[in-house]
Amino acid sequence: MLKKTTKHFASKQFSIFYFLAKNDNRYIKAIAYNTSGNSSFSTITVNVQNLAATILSGAVISRSAVRLNWNAVAGATGYKIWRNGFVLAVGNLLGYVIGGLPNGTHNFKVSAYSKSKQSNYSNLVPLTLTTSGSSLVVNPPSKPTGFGTEDAGETTIGLVWIPSTNDINVLGYEIRMATDAAFTKNVEDIPISNSKQDSFTVIDLLPATTYYFKIRARDNANWSDYSLAANDTATTAMSALLSNEPHSSENY
């Protein structure tokens, strides 16, 4: 593909031609001209290194849903999922469940991108949905384990857990907090978007008040079960200085 642009510098004029080649090199030529004619061409080759392509796999998991997984690409900040030539989803994920699809064959591919670069498409994965497809089987993330409290302060309580796992991806967690063991009083849900996070400090608590906590994980299709509950008491100012032993709801 050949493109031309004209640049003006003070009283001089230059025409710049550039070619976009398949190997991602850009060949740039420039000429100077005035009323007497044009100069000879100069030539510059600029090598543009794009991101590598990822490898895509997929499976039909119900009459109207598919699961896609792909490999990470070095330098990528996100990925685009394409179905039959149209973008379905964009995000920094390595897997996705797509539901609500009509019967027929759907052609999927994925491309990676960063702020200034993009990859070629992945391999094409055709998946065919029929009315006789299997029942929906989408595994939720594993339940967070090792959930407990530590380092209670006058208005803060620290929480710790072992991160969840999932056959697609874990997107984050939700901590449920209440002031009774049945989780019916002063209930508050605290979202956590970092799937690698394994601790959190709850702030702005009432001193000398016992709080109860439990946590669950999520992917882009399901929630895990809640962990076993843990509780601790926001201390008075003096007891906060004396207490730093962790209180766990279950064994690691």
Bridge partners for 5 per DSSP: 16
Say what the pLDDT of residue 37 is: 64
Say what the pLDDT of residue 43 is: 59
What average pLDDT does the structure give for the chain? 78
From 98, 129, 160, the end of a domain falls on 129
Decide if pLDDT at 1 tops 50: no
Q: In the β-sheet with 86-91, what is the strand arrangement from edge to edge?
A: 86-91, 78-83, 104-113, 125-129
Residues of the domain holding 64: 56-129
pLDDT tens per residue across span 202-228:
999 999 999 999 999 988 767 899 999
| 110 and 201 co-located in one domain | no
* Residue 99, helix vs strand vs coil: coil
Whether 95 is covered by a domain: the verdict is yes
The domain that holds 217 is classified in CATH as 2.60.40.10
Closest by CA position to 160, among listed 146, 141, 175, 139: 146
Whether 159 is covered by a domain: the verdict is yes
Q: What amino acid is encoded at 149 in this protein?
A: T
| 60 and 15 co-located in one domain | no
The Cα–Cα gap between 67 and 99 comes to 9
pLDDT tens per residue across span 13-60:
555 444 444 445 555 566 666 666 666 656 555 555 688 999 999 888
Whether 172 is covered by a domain: the verdict is yes
| 43 and 61 co-located in one domain | no
Say what the pLDDT of residue 56 is: 93
- The total number of structural domains in the chain stands at 3
